[in-house]
Amino acid sequence: NITPPLIQRVTSEYECVPFKSQIQAVVLSRYFNFQLANVLITLGVGSFVTSLRMIIKTPTDIAVVCAKAFPMVGSYCINLIVVKTFVELGYEISRFWPAVQYVFARVFTDKRQWTRRALRRSFFSNPVFLHGWYYPSMLSVIILAFIYSIVTPILSIFALLFFVIAEVVYKNQALYVYTTIAHSGGQLWNVAYKRAMTGLIMSHVLLVGYFW
- Alpha-helical (H) ranges within the chain are 3-9, 20-43, 45-57, 62-69, 74-83, 89-94, 96-108, 116-121, 131-151, 155-176, 187-210
- How many domains does the chain fold into? 1
Which tens digit of pLDDT belongs to each residue from 55-93?
677 666 666 666 666 667 778 888 889 999 999 999 889
Provide the 10 A C-beta neighbour count for residue 91: 12
- Determine the structural domain holding residue 103 and report its residue range: 2-211
Rg of the chain on CA atoms, in Å: 21
29/166: higher pLDDT: 166
pLDDT band at residue 46, thresholds of 50, 70 and 90?
very low
Residue 47 has pLDDT above 60, yes or no: no
Q: Which of 185, 140, 181, 178 is nearest to 31 (CA)?
A: 140
Output 106 or 52, whichever has higher pLDDT. 106
β partners of residue 128: 179
